[in-house]
Amino acid sequence: MRSPDPAPRRGRRRLPGPERRALILSAALRTFAAHGYDGAAMDEIAAAAGISKAVVYDHVASKRDLYVMLLEAIRTEIERTVEDALSAPGGGEERVRAAVDAIYGYVEAHPEASRLLVLELQGANVSPIGRELEEKLSTGLARTLHSETPAFGGHADRELQLKIFAELLKSVVLGGAGWWCRHPKVPRRDLVDRTVDVLWPVIARALAPA
């Protein structure tokens, strides 16, 4: 008489697709932030996620696809952060300060995402992915300024003025964020104060009737 088969060993729980995708993005963020796009390998990302490379490719077509997906997620979060801050009660300099503080708050709370963004947009050679991302950031900021403020309301070509303005605002804040990544011991409040000192006079002029 054959002895009964031993009870099967319980394997690791198979994660649902969305959870596995989030795990991959988290591992990719850590790897890209540490090594940059060129230095990151899909084998390393898979190992950091605790899954096989084949499973990673079930969710993304390529390393570039994964990188773009990650940068898009960061961009969306930053845009939402700015929109939420600008839609809060208050006006004038108070709203500007809230928006700047919200951005630096994001940098403080998400150091790896911020480092990745700085590596991509402030490197010696910005990639086509980075240029596209910069354009989307500026466009998103211009759209928010258009809907949430009366800036350049009397100008004959308001859309163009807002686009130029958004590009300059983005450059100031991105530069501050990049500097803060290299000097993380500087208090956030000091960085917010100095950024508002630079931005508010310019924004106040843009808000003034033409």
Number of domains into which the chain is organized: 2
Q: Is residue 6 part of a domain?
A: no
Residues 146 and 83 in one domain: yes
User: 3-state DSSP helix/strand/coil percent for the chain, to nearest 5?
Assistant: 75, 0, 25
Note down the domain range covering 28: 15-60
Residues 127 and 196 in one domain: yes
**From CA 55, how far away is CA 46, in angstroms rounded?**
8
**From CA 69, how far away is CA 59, in angstroms rounded?**
11
**From CA 14, how far away is CA 59, in angstroms rounded?**
15
**From CA 85, how far away is CA 95, in angstroms rounded?**
7
Q: Of 100, 57, 83, whose CA–CA distance to 190 is shortest? A: 100
**pLDDT the model gives residue 93:** 85
Instruction: Give the CATH number for residue 56.
Output: 1.10.10.60
pLDDT 10s per residue in the chain (210 long)? 333 444 444 444 565 667 888 889 999 999 998 888 888 999 999 999 998 999 899 889 999 999 988 888 888 888 888 888 877 777 778 888 888 999 899 999 999 998 888 877 776 566 777 788 788 888 888 888 888 788 888 888 999 989 998 888 888 988 898 899 889 999 999 999 999 999 889 888 888 776
What is the dihedral angle through the alpha carbons of 74, 54, 129, 179, rounded to the nearest 10 degrees?
50
Q: Is residue 9 part of a domain?
A: no
With beta carbons less than 8 A apart as the criterion, state whether 164 and 132 touch. Answer: no
Computed over its alpha carbons, how large is the radius of gyration of the chain? 22
Residues 53 and 74 in one domain: no
**pLDDT the model gives residue 2:** 39
**pLDDT the model gives residue 17:** 67
Residues 56 and 80 in one domain: no
**pLDDT the model gives residue 126:** 65
Domain end residue (candidates: 60, 85, 114): 60
Sequence-distant (≥ 6) Cβ neighbours of residue 114 within 8 angstroms: 106, 107, 177, 181
